[in-house]
Amino acid sequence: MKVVLPDSSELELPDGASGLDAARAIGPKLARDSVLARVNGHVQDLRLPLSGGERIELVTIRDKDDPDALYVLRHSTAHLLAEAVLRLHPGTKIAIGPPIADGFYYDFEFPEPISEEDLSAIEAEMRREIEEGRTWSREEVPREDALERFRAESQPYKVELASEAEPPISLYTQGDFTDLCRGPHLQDTSPIKALRLTGLAGAYWRGDERNTQLTRIYGTAFYSQADLDAHLQRLEQARAKDHRRLGPQLDLFHFDEHSPGAALWHPKGVALFNALEDLRRRENAKRGYLEVRTPLMWDIELWKRSGHWEKYHDALFLIPHGEHTFGLKPMNCPGHMLLFASKLRSYRELPIRYAESASLHRDEPTGTLHGLLRVRQMHQDDSHVFCTEEQIQDEIDGMFEFVGFLYDRLGVRELAHAELSTRPESKLGTDEQWDYTEGVLGTALERQGIPYRVKEGDGAFYGPKIDLFMDDAMGRPWQMGTIQLDGQQPARLGCKYTGADNREHMPWVIHRALFGSLERFIGILVEHYAGDFPFWLAPVQARVLPVGEGHRGPADSLRYRLAAAGYRADVDDRDETLGKRIRDAELEKIPFVLVYGDRESDDALAVRERGGGQSTRSLSELLDSFDALAAEAGSA
RNA sequence: GCCGGAGUAGCUCAGCUGGUAGAGCAAGCGCCUUGUAAGCGCUAGGCCGUGGGUUCGAGUCCCGCCUCCGGCUCCA
């Protein structure tokens, strides 16, 4: 048979030859260095037979940045981990051990609990295995053989997996350790040049909290020590962008243990917050949104009527009050429904777009709080659009235009990806309604070309939704904006309008938040810019530094004239050297520093830009450039 | 909520096997009178997260709780 190589040449091989045989036919070095075969674009274990006509590519240890090459390396390292764990902790039950984005993990049920201190011994054992050398062999067996084997070894999780796996069932063995595994795997341990166990965590079997909690060990591996070092350095750099570190450091906000999950916003943080709020308010107004305010606290009877109580009452902060119980609102929708329903509406009024950014409270589980990214008190740029069925598509399209506008202004478009969630098991409404609404959202996403995946059954109980996500500095995804269609809640809360046919109709409601939680959005912005905000967002846009004591008066006057022109400016007149104050301004990432001494006047200001560029400009020139910078960011 | 880890001065951290708590930066005061990324000196500052226990004696050992960190689950 013949197979096709990447350079389009053909290679003649005996029938049934494997990827490894192909490598051998080309050269001994290639055979030694190959880690997997890519056959017609799909990864395949080197040991598996090829078929005539296939396009094959051999991935080697030199392809050290190839994701597939890293996957196979880490997958094999995970097997070494399991071998080491079984040797050091006999009686451990092994579950699954896949490669993941930056490494691998393996889930175990240990006979005795282990702690992080045990990891170094396990890691040393893995190193010993590599030093000794291990070769992987692959075999395919009937299901019954696999079941028997894992029963004999008292490995219940493997028995469960083997009983569900698609035949042929493949087993990989290195040393005296055999694992049920689809592969592919390395030929032997020699390419594993650097490894590290990075962490320990609880993880539920099959991701279901009703199941046993297993112990997950995380690790990573590379083809060279330098690559591991570079990886660890990248992590260090990402940690330096952590908003939980930068926030207090830049004097934006902090948290106090007496109100977990609720930020204390400092003046500079509020400046940032308000810059976003101003943008939101201005752009909402341009698009016909009407700002409203509804109560913070409601009798829980309202949540029972809206349908939220049944599913979400655990997350409500409750306040007993006489015969009644009130709850802090976790969302604005019922209030907006009541506002709409407060009088008879005509189809001529639609669409009505209510917007509100009130404080919302949700009693999130303790273990889930995470700086500004997961809080208990937050503010959404929330809105509810009441419209007819014919208006839905236009409204949705308008929202996506709005999202694109905001992302471009804030420079975060490339961070965004989306999910479309369809009908859940427990839901309100008929299948026909769900067919329609899911279709509308899917169409809108495709028109916008936003990358997305479908999550079957993950919709809200009242309608399908689109969730917009962004990744933090560590690469963890967070849900930001959301757009949800709702044909149920308006009915429950008595929303209706009179149509052109003079009959009563139910409006559709589109729930939407584009930033999502302002808190979370600011957290992402801080990490994205590492605190180096664009001029229009910077909490302090300009700082005036009087050279000597005698320059305090003119420096103050300059600062107030900048403020009068609408810019956030302050003065640093501490008794410190100029060099020290410039250094501090740089560390605070202030875009403009104005040194003011004997040589300066309104006609000649000494301007230093963030990072060090210096120039001399008149005050009016400076204000012109401020105006230009602000306008560029959509702030005008 | 679950698993593992951590909590010492405003911040970053040191404090070995139990014996009366330390540094740098920041702060206050003084000197210097400053020209584009750290001037010098002095001073002050700590229910060692919190409640209990063991001990002659606990920052240090044990238990509960709180908060935070890494994950898991959840997230209208």
The CATH superfamily label for domain A2-60 reads Beta-grasp domain (3.10.20.30)
Q: What integer is the mean pLDDT of A298-322?
A: 94
Q: Which of A26, A200, A18, A174 is nearest to A86 (CA)?
A: A174
How do beta strands A605-609 and A614-617 pair? antiparallel
CA–C1' span, A579 to B32, in Å?
14
For the stretch A484-513, what's the b/e string if a residue is b when 16 or more beta carbons lie within 10 angstroms of its beta carbon? Answer: bbbbbbbbebebebeeeeeeebbbbbbbbb
Q: Which of A355, A438, A429 is nearest to A399 (CA)?
A: A355
- With pLDDT > 90 as the criterion, what percentage of chain A qualifies? 86
* A window 596-635: Cβ near strand B (< 7 A): 597-600, 606, 608, 611-612, 614
Tell me the pLDDT tens digit for each residue of A324-379: 999 999 999 999 999 999 999 999 999 999 999 999 999 999 999 999 999 999 99
As to burial, measured by CB atoms within 10 angstroms (0-12 exposed, 13-18 middle, 19+ buried), residue A153 is middle
What is the spatial distance between Cα A441 and Cα A240, in angstroms, rounded to a whole number?
38
Q: In CATH terms, are A67-237 and A542-632 the same topology?
A: no
What is the spatial distance between Cα A421 and Cα A592, in angstroms, rounded to a whole number?
45
Nearest nucleotide to A461 (CA to C1') is: B76
Q: What is the C-alpha R_g of chain A? A: 31
Which fold does the domain A67-237 belong to in CATH? Threonyl-tRNA Synthetase; Chain A, domain 2 (3.30.980)
Where do runs of H (alpha helix) occur along A426-551? 431-448, 489-492, 518-529
| Predicted confidence (pLDDT) at residue A389 exceeds the cutoff of 80 | yes
A261 CB and strand B closer than 7 A: yes
The helix/strand/coil state of A413 is: helix
What ipTM does this complex have? 0.94
Tell me the pLDDT tens digit for each residue of A92-132: 999 999 999 999 999 999 998 898 889 989 999 999 999 99
CA–C1' span, A7 to B67, in Å?
60
CA–C1' span, A454 to B5, in Å?
36
| Predicted confidence (pLDDT) at residue A487 exceeds the cutoff of 90 | no
What's the confidence (pLDDT) of residue A244? 95
- With pLDDT > 70 as the criterion, what percentage of chain A qualifies? 99
Tell me the pLDDT tens digit for each residue of A544-589: 999 998 999 999 999 999 999 999 999 999 999 999 999 999 999 9
Domain spanning A283-528, CATH class: alpha beta
How do beta strands A177-180 and A592-596 pair? unpaired
Could you count the other beta carbons within 10 Å of the beta carbon of residue A549? 9
Cβ atoms of A178 and A171 closer than 8 Å = yes
| Predicted confidence (pLDDT) at residue A635 exceeds the cutoff of 60 | no
Q: Which of A340, A423, A415, A428 is nearest to A385 (CA)?
A: A340
How do beta strands A542-546 and A569-571 pair? parallel
CA–C1' span, A547 to B35, in Å?
7
Tell me the pLDDT tens digit for each residue of A235-265: 989 999 999 999 999 999 999 999 999 999 9
Nearest nucleotide to A362 (CA to C1') is: B75
The helix/strand/coil state of A600 is: coil
Question: Distances from the Cα of A404 to the Cαs of A400, A409, A410, A481, A515, in angstroms?
Answer: 6, 9, 10, 12, 11
3-state helix vs strand vs coil in chain A, percent to 5: 40, 30, 35
A354 CB and strand B closer than 7 A: no
What is the spatial distance between Cα A351 and Cα A229, in angstroms, rounded to a whole number?
57
Where do runs of H (alpha helix) occur along A530-618? 552-564, 578-587
Which residue ranges make up each domain of chain A?
2-60, 67-237, 283-528, 542-632
| Predicted confidence (pLDDT) at residue A411 exceeds the cutoff of 50 | yes
| Predicted confidence (pLDDT) at residue A634 exceeds the cutoff of 70 | no
Between A78-92, A256-270, A430-444, the lowest mean confidence (pLDDT) is in: A430-444
Q: What is the CATH architecture assignment of A542-632? A: 3-Layer(aba) Sandwich (3.40)
Question: Distances from the Cα of A38 to the Cαs of A32, A342, A538, in angstroms?
Answer: 16, 64, 49
HSE on the CB side for A566, CA within 13 Å? 13
* A window 4-63: Cβ near strand B (< 7 A): none
Nucleotides in chain B with any atom closer than 7 Å to protein CB: 1-5, 7, 11, 27, 31-39, 66-76
Cβ atoms of A620 and A565 closer than 8 Å = no
What's the confidence (pLDDT) of residue A636? 36
Q: How confident is the model at residue A633 (pLDDT cuts 50, 70, 90)?
A: low
How do beta strands A592-596 and A542-546 pair? parallel
Q: Which residues of A are catalytic?
A: 333, 362, 380, 382, 384, 465, 511
What is the spatial distance between Cα A305 and Cα A495, in angstroms, rounded to a whole number?
13
